[in-house]
Amino acid sequence: MARTSWSRYSNRSFYLFVSPWVLGFLLLTVVPLGYAFGMSLTNFDGSSPRWRWVGIRNYTELFGDSEAWHALLRTIAYTAIAVPLSVAAALGLAVLLNRRLKALGLWRTIFFLPSVVPVVAMAIMWKLVLNRDAGIANALLHVVGIKPIVWLIDPMAFYALIILTLWGLGGGMVIMLAALQGVPAELEEAAVVDGAGRWRVFRHITVPMISPVIFFQVVTGVIATFQIVVQPLLLAETNSIAGVGQVPRSTHLYMVQVYQEFFTSNRFGYGSAMLWVFFLVILAFTLLIQRSSRLWVHYEVDTESDR
């Protein structure tokens, strides 16, 4: 195409259009992160003007802080259980729905619905369901002869949190369902003609075909689960930021610990150091998963290029 000196594009108009996000990103993401790094080098307590620089002391203290280590390991354990479980459950549900069903739309709505429930309402609902004396969960367990379970304190609070996470898997299910419907039927048919059983077709054709979607679910799931703080806070008896210290041990995840440093101990500097370390940990995990993806994610030839 012959192009004269005239061009319909100019840097000016491009940057004019994307400026809201560029400015927002700089002012509301980069600046706060930088500010947090600055704070992490001080002993700032959130209010008093008499703070001073302490260098990397917060970071060195953090490495010897067993509370923080426990919270981090607990978070990793929670993520390692909750993410595979909810990705697998979402896939299972999608497989169940990926067939000729009566009222498919209704089923999909039912499973999708909880994922739009605000976290506050979610916590209130599940506290009612899991209430030790008055909850329906224990009432049903009683019918089959199981003694009441104290769901919302240690050690069961951990599982209550997992139940809460699983209940909201509808978004993942919808994505998996769309991915399953994108798997070419001829491929699966050919395998069946060749004598492969259904499980083998699923294991060796369907799953590899949708593995990029599964991968995406795992990555976003890990990042989202790492930063969970509101759910443990609201499931606890004293459900407010001020009561963050009373979150049960088993759901005392890393971000809960950060909030506790900020708002119970008033250690804004130390809390900021925790934030930065966590930022790096999440980054490392994301890269690790990304690296491992080459081993198990099946990508087709770049589809972008044939547009």
Q: Scanning residues 168 to 207, which ones bind other proteins (CB under 8 A)?
A: 171-172, 174-175, 178-186, 188-189, 192, 198, 201-202, 206
Q: Go through the chain and tell me how many residues it has.
A: 307
Residue 216 in the binding site for other proteins (CB under 8 A):
yes
**Residue ranges in 111-140 that form contacts with other proteins under rule CB under 8 A:** 111-114, 116-121, 123-129, 131, 133-136, 138-139
Taking the C-alpha atoms of residue 136 and residue 142, their distance in angstroms, rounded to an integer, is: 10
**Residue ranges in 48-67 that form contacts with other proteins under rule CB under 8 A:** none
Taking the C-alpha atoms of residue 167 and residue 119, their distance in angstroms, rounded to an integer, is: 11
Considering the complex, what minimum distance in angstroms separates the CB of residue 125 from other proteins? 4
Q: Out of 2, 5, 9, 50, which residue is the one contacting other proteins (CB under 8 A)? A: 9
3-class state of residue 146 by DSSP: coil
If the CB atoms of residues 158 and 278 are measured against other proteins, the closer one turns out to be 278
Nearest to 101 by CA among 115, 111, 89, 88: 111
Residue 278 in the binding site for other proteins (CB under 8 A):
yes
Taking the C-alpha atoms of residue 79 and residue 83, their distance in angstroms, rounded to an integer, is: 6
Taking the C-alpha atoms of residue 125 and residue 134, their distance in angstroms, rounded to an integer, is: 13
Considering the complex, what minimum distance in angstroms separates the CB of residue 73 from other proteins? 19
If the CB atoms of residues 84 and 184 are measured against other proteins, the closer one turns out to be 184
User: What phi and psi, each to the nearest 5 degrees, are found at residue 42?
Assistant: -125, 175
Residue 13 in the binding site for other proteins (CB under 8 A):
yes
**Residue ranges in 86-105 that form contacts with other proteins under rule CB under 8 A:** 93, 95-102
If the CB atoms of residues 264 and 286 are measured against other proteins, the closer one turns out to be 286
Considering the complex, what minimum distance in angstroms separates the CB of residue 114 from other proteins? 6
Cis? peptide before 32, omega within 30° of 0: no
- Choose the binding region for other proteins from 57-65, 76-84, 149-157, 258-266 (rule: CB under 8 A): 258-266
Considering the complex, what minimum distance in angstroms separates the CB of residue 176 from other proteins? 8
Taking the C-alpha atoms of residue 64 and residue 66, their distance in angstroms, rounded to an integer, is: 6
Residue 20 in the binding site for other proteins (CB under 8 A):
yes
Taking the C-alpha atoms of residue 208 and residue 172, their distance in angstroms, rounded to an integer, is: 17
- Choose the binding region for other proteins from 54-62, 63-71, 150-158, 273-281 (rule: CB under 8 A): 273-281
Taking the C-alpha atoms of residue 285 and residue 223, their distance in angstroms, rounded to an integer, is: 9
Taking the C-alpha atoms of residue 128 and residue 135, their distance in angstroms, rounded to an integer, is: 6
Residue 272 in the binding site for other proteins (CB under 8 A):
yes
Q: How far is CA 53 from the centre of its chain?
A: 34
